[in-house]
């Protein structure tokens, strides 16, 4: 989708559809409360075109509510789309992101290929923040997961224009252009992660994931090396190798580096992603129901690839290492068995209780390797535990940390990313649950507190390095379409990881 930012009156823009956002300012109290939609524009002709329908009560400006007007008088657009962002008190940049996505998804099935959206004015919205989230939302809304449909009809919106006030000063225009550019980078990078997650296991093997990462790296100027079995043995990555040994497909250790010019000291941020391109559970095989969804067990790795793309283009002044540990977890005569003991790269021994607790095994060696390469701060992302989904549902992802300052940076990043994460606990009691009689630790701690015992397992390998763990199992896949985004891969964590890295 081609995107552009223009500075002119919304009413003068020639386009197939002009979208204008609205808030509900509400009047009255108690049972007498009535919706009072107000358009977030200062353009008098746009307001006049919508005046009658706003008076009718037909449109209440609820979150992502839409109403289409054909042939609006005195406008350059052929259609005027009103999109609600909800009550005025909840008018945030994140609501604007969703509203922009809703406008695009409204247009797509109706054959509308060129869409303009008026930058919302008023309601306490910051213009730069709204600019960035509008273009992010538009790009995310344009994505659909129907990659392999033989009757696929490309309904993508071909052109998206954000219309900012013509009265903006030179300084304001510069700030909005910067915000717009950032939004394009982040939106495209999140969509890259979604494209990777959407690929079926027979199309996206660990080797192919490595090739896709290397291709991306070449395009944006990152250093990238993709290793396989020989390197795992050389590094003594016994935990990572144990997961891959039952598959005919070789593993891939993907290492991406961002080294900004002139930065030779300071922190080195390590991004580590779980890249299980298909997870059967191994010998501890999963039930067949919904196993097809296990192609998305590499969503953490995809998030890191998407984040590294955005980092390369945004150019923060901090060194970053991205590591994705990619493998298939398959049952086979060579597969590891419950009761096996594996030796991780760090030298820790791991008793395998359940071969379906494989994500933490690949991450264990990924975290150790990131530290060996010089990472001073770590973040990992993984579709790690069903227990996290039980705890938080399919609304929030889980976040754990061993370092308050580092977690504080992540919490602040969420203010910009708008993604929903909820901090869950670590503690000695959880650590005790993964102690092994035969080795150092077990790869599961039993049924109770499974998200926290899994995080404690990873903490063993992070050691004293400031570290954040993201358990995205419940939110990596959207089961039902929403007004602003298609069902399928969400691309969760890309925005938050990028903002966290930029905080350094």
Confidence of residue 401 (pLDDT cuts 50, 70, 90): very high
Q: How far is CA 473 from CA 240, 361, 417, in A?
A: 20, 16, 19
Q: Kindly provide the b/e burial profile for residues 153-176, where b requires at least 16 CB atoms within 10 angstroms of the residue's own CB.
A: eeeebeebbbbbbeeeeeeeeebb
pLDDT score at 28: 61
3-state secondary structure of 330: coil
Tell me the mean pLDDT in the region 470-483: 97
Same structural domain for residues 166 and 121? yes
Same structural domain for residues 461 and 422? yes
- Is residue 360 annotated as a catalytic residue, yes or no? yes
Tokens in use for 331?
């049952």
Q: Is residue 229 part of a domain?
A: yes
- Domain of residue 88: give its range: 2-190
Q: Tokens 């919904």: give the residue.
A: 290
Q: Is residue 206 part of a domain?
A: yes
> CB count, 10 Å around CB of 198?
23
Same structural domain for residues 442 and 463? yes
> What letter does residue 485 receive in the DSSP assignment?
B
Last residue of a domain, one of 128, 157, 190: 190
Same structural domain for residues 182 and 215? no
Same structural domain for residues 143 and 235? no
pLDDT score at 144: 96
- Is residue 286 annotated as a catalytic residue, yes or no? yes
> pLDDT tens digits for 18-71?
999 999 998 667 677 788 999 999 999 999 999 999 999 999 999 999 999 999
H/E segment holding residue 136: helix 127-142
Same structural domain for residues 139 and 283? no
> Domain with 63 in it: what CATH number?
3.40.220.10
Last residue of a domain, one of 132, 162, 190: 190
498 φψ region: left (φ > 0), alpha (ψ -120 to 50), beta (else):
alpha
Same structural domain for residues 210 and 185? no
Tell me the mean pLDDT in the region 486-503: 98
∠ CA 126-129-134, nearest 5°, is 115
Q: How far is it, in rounded angstroms, from Cα 238 to Cα 452?
A: 23
> How many domains does the chain fold into?
2
Same structural domain for residues 96 and 145? yes
Q: Tokens 């797509």: give the residue.
A: 108
CB 401, CB 292: distance < 8 Å? no
> pLDDT tens digits for 104-134?
999 999 999 999 999 999 999 999 999 999 9
Last residue of a domain, one of 170, 190, 210: 190
Same structural domain for residues 169 and 206? no
Q: Is residue 197 part of a domain?
A: no
Is 163's pLDDT higher than 90? yes
Q: Is residue 265 part of a domain?
A: yes
Tell me the mean pLDDT in the region 388-410: 98
Same structural domain for residues 173 and 216? no
Catalytic residue among 274, 360, 409, 502: 360
Is 77's pLDDT higher than 90? yes
Same structural domain for residues 276 and 179? no
pTM of the complete model = 0.97
Same structural domain for residues 176 and 208? no
CB 20, CB 81: distance < 8 Å? yes
> Domain with 341 in it: what CATH number?
3.40.630.10
Q: Is residue 126 part of a domain?
A: yes
> pLDDT tens digits for 268-297?
999 999 999 999 999 999 999 999 999 999
Catalytic residue among 87, 236, 286, 394: 286
Q: Is residue 196 part of a domain?
A: no
């Amino acid at each position: 989708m081609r995107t552009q930012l223009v500075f002119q009156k919304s009413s003068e823009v020639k386009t197939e559809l002009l979208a204008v956002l609205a808030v509900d300012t509400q009047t009255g109290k108690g049972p007498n409360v009535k919706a009072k939609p107000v358009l977030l524009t200062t353009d008098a002709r746009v307001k006049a075109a919508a005046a009658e329908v706003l008076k009718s009560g037909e449109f209440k400006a609820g979150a992502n509510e839409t109403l289409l007007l054909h042939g609006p008088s005195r406008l350059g657009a052929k259609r005027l789309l009103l999109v609600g962002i909800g009550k005025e008190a909840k008018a945030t940049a994140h609501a604007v992101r969703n509203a922009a996505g809703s406008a695009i998804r409204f247009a797509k099935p109706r054959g509308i290929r060129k869409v303009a959206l008026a930058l919302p004015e008023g309601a306490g919205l910051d213009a730069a923040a709204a600019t960035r989230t509008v273009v992010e939302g538009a790009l995310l809304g344009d994505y659909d997961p129907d990659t392999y449909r033989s009757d696929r009809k490309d309904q993508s919106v071909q052109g998206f224009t954000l219309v900012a006030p013509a009265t903006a000063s030179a300084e304001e225009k510069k700030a909005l252009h910067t915000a717009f550019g950032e939004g394009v980078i982040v939106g495209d990078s999140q969509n890259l992660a979604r494209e990777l997650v959407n690929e079926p296991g027979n199309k996206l093997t660990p080797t192919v994931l490595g090739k896709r990462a290397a291709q991306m790296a070449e395009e944006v100027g990152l250093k990238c090396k993709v290793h396989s079995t020989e390197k795992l043995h050389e590094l003594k990555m016994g935990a990572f190798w144990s997961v891959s040994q039952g598959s005919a497909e070789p593993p891939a250790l993907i290492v991406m580096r961002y080294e900004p010019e002139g930065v030779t000291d300071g922190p080195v941020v390590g991004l580590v992603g779980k890249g299980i391109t298909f997870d059967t559970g191994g010998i501890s095989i999963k039930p067949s129901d919904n196993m097809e969804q296990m192609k998305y067990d590499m969503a953490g790795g995809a998030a890191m690839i998407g984040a590294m793309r955005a980092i390369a283009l945004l150019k923060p002044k901090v060194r970053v290492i991205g590591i994705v540990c990619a493998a298939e977890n398959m049952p086979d005569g060579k597969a590891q068995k419950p009761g096996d003991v594996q030796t991780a790269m760090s030298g820790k021994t791991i008793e395998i209780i359940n071969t379906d607790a494989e994500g933490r095994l690949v991450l264990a060696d990924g975290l150790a390797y990131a530290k060996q390469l010089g990472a001073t701060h770590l973040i990992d992302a993984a579709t790690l535990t069903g227990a996290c989904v039980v705890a938080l549902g399919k609304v929030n992802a889980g976040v754990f940390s061993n370092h308050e300052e580092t977690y504080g940076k992540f919490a602040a990043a969420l203010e910009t990313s708008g993604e929903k994460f909820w901090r869950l606990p670590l503690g000695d009691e959880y650590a005790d649950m993964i102690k092994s009689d035969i080795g150092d630790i077990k790869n599961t701690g039993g049924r109770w507190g499974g998200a926290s015992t899994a995080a404690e397992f990873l903490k063993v390998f992070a050691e004293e390095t400031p570290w954040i763990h993201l358990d995205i199992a419940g939110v990596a896949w959207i089961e039902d379409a929403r007004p602003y985004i298609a069902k399928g891969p969400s691309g969760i964590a890309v925005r938050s990881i990028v903002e966290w890295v930029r905080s350094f």
